[in-house]
């Protein structure tokens, strides 16, 4: 059972998250606070595994709260739930000790996935943020790549990939695992692995990271 403490200065947001989590097995909301100081005042008396924390709050904001939590309650995991999508905020909050970052616009499945990952001691960054940051990085690198193209690596045409391969590529770019893609497309893990290998061969890439980088650069993702 993962014990979750909600911290957001908007009561309606806290209520919505509580309602979202209420029916989920293995998750219990153990407390609420409207700012970081209220959280710290309560946390000594409330057993908590994960704090679901906003950044913009009065009294004590998310960044200051994260720093205090790391000092005073190092065993508690911190998952940021915010509307802020700028990489500066994301870098600061991870440096301060947060384990995960999810946008408030994320769907229920991704928020639950984030909670499970952070509760298990892993780090998590929602797919929209990861893809946004990757695109910004690639946009900066594009001029250099155009000046020094890889020998024999011509542009990949959309038609080179089958419809199913294109679907698999899109899901890979969103951070889904082989098992998750197989479930989403109602097929077997082996079939997805075969599609992935075919995509790598057609695009002349060596791994998934290189594949996604190429796909973003050449506009193969929707």
Q: What is the pLDDT of residues 115-141, one digit of tens each?
A: 999 999 999 988 877 776 667 666 665
In terms of pTM, does the model score above 0.75? no
Q: In terms of pLDDT, which residue wins out, 197 or 69?
A: 69
pLDDT tens-digit profile of 14-47?
A: 999 999 998 899 999 999 999 999 999 999 999 9
Answer yes or no: do 122 and 160 share one domain.
no
Q: Copy the structure tokens of residue 154.
A: 């011509």
Q: Copy the structure tokens of residue 113.
A: 């996935």
Interval 78-91 mean pLDDT: 88
Q: What whole-number distance in Å separates Cα of residue 153 and Cα of residue 9?
A: 51
Q: What whole-number distance in Å separates Cα of residue 174 and Cα of residue 105?
A: 15
Answer yes or no: do 40 and 83 share one domain.
yes
**Has residue 212 got a pLDDT over 80?**
no
Answer yes or no: do 84 and 20 share one domain.
yes
Question: Into how many domains does the chain fold?
Answer: 2
Answer yes or no: do 7 and 61 share one domain.
yes
Classify residue 111: in a domain, yes or no. yes
Classify residue 59: in a domain, yes or no. yes
Range of the structural domain that residue 165 is part of? 149-217
Q: What whole-number distance in Å separates Cα of residue 220 and Cα of residue 82?
A: 29
Answer yes or no: do 30 and 77 share one domain.
yes
Answer yes or no: do 105 and 168 share one domain.
no
Answer yes or no: do 75 and 156 share one domain.
no
Q: What whole-number distance in Å separates Cα of residue 205 and Cα of residue 55?
A: 39
């Amino acid at each position: 059972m993962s014990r979750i403490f909600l911290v957001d200065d908007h009561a309606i947001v806290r209520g919505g998250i509580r309602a979202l989590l209420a029916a989920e097995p293995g998750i219990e909301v153990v407390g609420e606070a409207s700012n970081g100081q209220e959280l710290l005042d309560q946390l000594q008396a409330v057993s908590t595994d994960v704090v679901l924390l906003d950044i913009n709050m009065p009294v004590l904001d998310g960044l200051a709260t994260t720093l205090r939590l790391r000092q005073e309650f190092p065993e508690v995991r911190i998952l940021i739930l915010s509307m802020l999508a700028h990489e500066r905020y994301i870098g600061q909050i991870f440096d301060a000790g947060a384990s995960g970052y999810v946008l408030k616009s994320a769907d229920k499945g991704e928020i639950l996935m984030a909670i499970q990952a952070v509760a298990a001691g892993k780090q998590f960054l929602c797919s929209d943020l990861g893809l946004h940051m990757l695109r910004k990085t690639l946009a900066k690198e594009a001029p250099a790549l155009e000046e020094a193209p890889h020998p024999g690596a011509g542009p990949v045409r959309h038609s080179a990939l089958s419809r199913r391969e294109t679907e698999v590529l899109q899901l890979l770019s969103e951070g889904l695992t082989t098992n998750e893609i197989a479930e989403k497309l109602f097929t077997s893990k082996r079939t997805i692995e075969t599609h992935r290998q075919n995509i790598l061969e057609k695009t002349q890439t060596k791994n998934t990271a290189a594949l996604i980088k190429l796909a973003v650069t050449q506009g193969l993702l929707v």
